[in-house]
Chains A and B, each alone.
Chain A
Amino acid sequence: MSSGPTTRGLPIEINGLTKHFGPVVAVDDLSFSVAPGRVTGFLGPNGSGKTTTLRMLLGLVHPSAGTATIAGQRYQDLENPTSSVGAVLEATSFHPARRARTHLRMAARAGGHDEKRADEVLGLVGLSGDAKRKIGGFSMGMRQRLELATALMGDPDVLILDEPSNGLDPQGIAWLRDFMRYLAGEGRTVLVSSHLLSEMAQTIDDAIIVSFGQLKAQGTLAEITKGITGVVMRARSPEADRLAGVLTQAGIAFRRLGHDEIAMDGVTPEQVGPLLATNQIVLYELAQEGGDLESVFLSLTSGLGFGDVAAAAPPSAPQSPSAPPPPPPMAP
């Protein structure tokens, strides 16, 4: 694997992608792009069409309409597909009787890579000690790592990861996060689907949010969350009744959540704080809710809507570690 910044990544373009399974529209006129050198989160609830989209991108599922290309070409038309794209799709795509190294040797042969690369990628994902073990005895986390090793076999320019943290322990998740950042730091394109938003929020530069197969939002993480900052301020006070009166006088909309709890809509801490101080209202708690990725996600995917924030902002410089993170020890 090369080190240092490069321009090796390839752009992904999805245009008008549609997939019908009988009467069910799994993906509905989906369009977005993924830039190299960044970790892009592909987010949506279960059944929102993420996996189908990724499978169409990899030629496993035939689109009903539209195109999904990598560097302007369909995956199956790429000259050296496994050198261009590595994919982690599901942690069950292994023959249980095969040993980890054999599986990777098979992948190396299929992609036309040196079989010695099998040991290298096993080391990268922390499975060197399990090279000779049969995959049937692997835990889900180990299988995920092996799937990642398979994806890295061709040292690809693009990484496509479908729910890669499934089955990983917290150490493994943290390692995967650093690893994705490292790969993007090398200039590679990293597209990762997930429904684990708190995890994604720590990892991704850009986000694509889908629901019911449709694009709900695309942009940098900062841009997507910025649009809804200050959605709700929640205050807990022993003087909730007096607080309600102050808010009414100030013209701020609020809801009583409990005998000592009030939610204020559409205000910022900068607006509420001075008002409470001026009126000398005792507070036990004042918290802003709704400005994070999870809130955006829940709002967009439950149909409440935060308006269209699909206009992508220009990419900002990605943060990445300068060396691949050492894999955490793997429990047997």
Chain B
Amino acid sequence: MINSLRAELLKMRTMPGVWVTFGLAFPLTVLGILIVLASAGGFPGHTFYYVSSLSQRRRLLGAGFFGIEVLAPIIGVLCITSEYRQKTITTSLVLVPIRSRVLLSKVIATALWSIYIALLGLVAVAAIALPWNAALGGVTSQVTDQIGAVIPGLLASAVLLGLFGLGFGTLVKNQVAAILLTIGGTLILEGILIALAKAIFHYDLNWLPNGAGAALAGDIARGFGGGGGGNGPNAFRLLTWWQGGLVLLAWGVGPLVLGYFTTFRRDVT
């Protein structure tokens, strides 16, 4: 198992698509920082303002979530679909003929690379968001005090969103289709479905992947793609963090198990 995992990690480390994805984590986090600081104040003459409320401080610290929700599923998709796209699946399965072992290695490798993306987001926050917030007049310690509240949800959502991408990649195999399904599905289609469900049925469609990820990530996801938050009768109610975690886990494991039995175990001709 360790051998197979080490091979998977080397494969991912030498895959250009993974590095492109990794490279996007930093600018997407910066975009997240811009959104948080732009929405923090609302005072005339100030485009950006320092964060003050608990929710704002957590969102600033977790600005990497903006990149995670886009990139972690892509990491998962790339991990499995590149094997079919580049036809390396034959070599992979000859080298490690027990397929469940190969897939489990991919689960762990995807989780690790998703965590790397989350950590890169935290580095971007430390390098840009905290000094910027301080320059705007914010108190850095009030933000860093929330590390314990933010990081577990951030890392857990990264791992499970990566697993979600891997699951769909296992099921679909075609790289382009899998990326469109995971990213287009979660960022575009999910938003449309949520809006329609709310408008027509007054129902909070909060158990789709991105909504579940936002629930798991908690406060940090509000205002990003995960939606959620707000008060009043029209507020979109997220699941609780543990419900979100379980639902997102199901969104990952379900397609993965289905893909394993319908696609991954098929003949490699």
- Mask of B11-29 contacts with A, CB within 8 angstroms, 1/0: 1001110000000000000
Q: Is there an interface contact between B3 and A150, defined as CB atoms closer than 8 Å?
A: no
| Residues of A contacting B88 in the complex (Cβ-Cβ under 8 angstroms) | 93-95
| Residues of B contacting A60 in the complex (Cβ-Cβ under 8 angstroms) | 90, 93-94, 267-269
15 further interface pairs, Cβ-Cβ under 8 Å (given A90-B90, A95-B11, A110-B3): A52-B269, A55-B267, A59-B93, A60-B267, A61-B269, A82-B94, A82-B95, A93-B87, A93-B89, A93-B90, A93-B91, A102-B10, A109-B3, A110-B7, A112-B3
Q: Is B98 an interface residue (CB 8 A)?
A: yes
What is the distance, in angstroms, from B169's C-beta to the closest C-beta of chain A? 16
Q: Is there an interface contact between A110 and B97, defined as CB atoms closer than 8 Å?
A: no
Q: Is A122 an interface residue (CB 8 A)?
A: no
**13 residue pairs bridging A and B, Cβ less than 8 Å apart:** A61-B268, A76-B97, A81-B94, A90-B90, A93-B89, A93-B90, A94-B91, A95-B88, A102-B10, A107-B95, A110-B3, A111-B3, A111-B95
Q: Is there an interface contact between A106 and B7, defined as CB atoms closer than 8 Å?
A: yes
Tell me the A residues contacting B by CB distance below 8 Å.
Answer: 52, 55, 58-62, 75-76, 81-82, 87, 89-90, 92-99, 102, 105-107, 109-112, 150
Q: How far is the CA of A58 from the CA of B90 in the complex (A)?
A: 10
Q: Is there an interface contact between A106 and B90, defined as CB atoms closer than 8 Å?
A: no
Q: Is there an interface contact between B3 and A92, defined as CB atoms closer than 8 Å?
A: no
| Residues of A contacting B16 in the complex (Cβ-Cβ under 8 angstroms) | 97
Q: How far is the CA of A33 from the CA of B95 in the complex (A)?
A: 24
Q: Is there an interface contact between B97 and A59, defined as CB atoms closer than 8 Å?
A: yes
Which residues of B in the span 29-86 have a Cβ within 8 Å of any Cβ on A? Answer: 82, 86
Residue of A nearest to B86 (CB): A95
Residue of B nearest to A105 (CB): B10
Q: Is there an interface contact between A62 and B90, defined as CB atoms closer than 8 Å?
A: no
A55 and B98 contact, Cβ closer than 8 Å, known pairs A93-B91, A109-B3:
no
Q: Is B4 an interface residue (CB 8 A)?
A: yes
| Residues of A contacting B98 in the complex (Cβ-Cβ under 8 angstroms) | 76
Q: Is there an interface contact between A55 and B269, defined as CB atoms closer than 8 Å?
A: yes
A87 and B94 contact, Cβ closer than 8 Å, known pairs A52-B269, A55-B268, A109-B7:
yes
Chain B contact-residue range equals: 20 to 34
Q: Is there an interface contact between B3 and A94, defined as CB atoms closer than 8 Å?
A: no
Q: Is there an interface contact between B10 and A106, defined as CB atoms closer than 8 Å?
A: yes
Query: Closest 10 A-B residue pairs measured CB to CB?
Result: A110-B7, A76-B97, A110-B95, A93-B91, A109-B7, A60-B268, A61-B267, A112-B3, A109-B6, A59-B97
Q: Is B253 an interface residue (CB 8 A)?
A: no
Q: How far is the CA of A272 from the CA of B89 in the complex (A)?
A: 58
A106 and B97 contact, Cβ closer than 8 Å, known pairs A52-B269, A89-B90, A90-B90:
no
Q: Is there an interface contact between A58 and B91, defined as CB atoms closer than 8 Å?
A: no
Number of inter-chain CB pairs below 8 Å? 78
Residue of B nearest to A51 (CB): B269
| Residues of A contacting B119 in the complex (Cβ-Cβ under 8 angstroms) | none
Q: Is B96 an interface residue (CB 8 A)?
A: yes
Q: How far is the CA of A61 from the CA of B93 in the complex (A)?
A: 11
A58 and B97 contact, Cβ closer than 8 Å, known pairs A94-B88, A94-B91, A107-B91:
yes
Q: Is there an interface contact between A109 and B269, defined as CB atoms closer than 8 Å?
A: no
- Mask of B91-105 contacts with A, CB within 8 angstroms, 1/0: 111111110000000
Cβ-defined partner of B10 (8 Å) among A58, A94, A109:
A109
Residue of A nearest to B19 (CB): A97
What is the distance, in angstroms, from B105's C-beta to the closest C-beta of chain A? 9
Q: How far is the CA of A122 from the CA of B94 in the complex (A)?
A: 19
Q: How far is the CA of A55 from the CA of B268 in the complex (A)?
A: 8
Cβ-defined partner of A95 (8 Å) among B3, B82, B90:
B82
Q: How far is the CA of A111 from the CA of B95 in the complex (A)?
A: 6
Of B91, B93, B268, the most chain A CB neighbours within 10 A belong to B91
A97 and B15 contact, Cβ closer than 8 Å, known pairs A76-B98, A112-B3:
yes
Cβ-defined partner of A110 (8 Å) among B4, B86, B89, B268:
B4
What is the distance, in angstroms, from B20's C-beta to the closest C-beta of chain A? 11
| Residues of B contacting A109 in the complex (Cβ-Cβ under 8 angstroms) | 3, 6-7, 10
| Residues of B contacting A89 in the complex (Cβ-Cβ under 8 angstroms) | 90-91, 94
| Residues of B contacting A107 in the complex (Cβ-Cβ under 8 angstroms) | 7, 91, 95
Cβ-defined partner of A94 (8 Å) among B4, B15, B86:
B86
Which residues of B in the span 144-196 have a Cβ within 8 Å of any Cβ on A? Answer: none
What is the distance, in angstroms, from B135's C-beta to the closest C-beta of chain A? 41
Q: Is there an interface contact between A75 and B97, defined as CB atoms closer than 8 Å?
A: yes
Residue of A nearest to B4 (CB): A110
What is the distance, in angstroms, from A109's C-beta to the closest C-beta of chain B? 4
Residue of B nearest to A150 (CB): B91
Q: How far is the CA of A105 from the CA of B11 in the complex (A)?
A: 10
Q: Is there an interface contact between B93 and A102, defined as CB atoms closer than 8 Å?
A: no
What is the distance, in angstroms, from A101's C-beta to the closest C-beta of chain B? 11
Of B94, B267, B268, B269, the most chain A CB neighbours within 10 A belong to B94
Q: How far is the CA of A61 from the CA of B94 in the complex (A)?
A: 11
A95 and B14 contact, Cβ closer than 8 Å, known pairs A75-B97, A110-B96:
yes
| Residues of B contacting A98 in the complex (Cβ-Cβ under 8 angstroms) | 14
| Residues of A contacting B86 in the complex (Cβ-Cβ under 8 angstroms) | 94-96
Q: How far is the CA of A54 from the CA of B10 in the complex (A)?
A: 28
Q: How far is the CA of A61 from the CA of B98 in the complex (A)?
A: 13
What is the distance, in angstroms, from B11's C-beta to the closest C-beta of chain A? 6
Q: How far is the CA of A60 from the CA of B94 in the complex (A)?
A: 8
| Residues of A contacting B11 in the complex (Cβ-Cβ under 8 angstroms) | 95, 106
Residue of A nearest to B92 (CB): A110
| Residues of A contacting B93 in the complex (Cβ-Cβ under 8 angstroms) | 59-60
Q: How far is the CA of A107 from the CA of B7 in the complex (A)?
A: 7
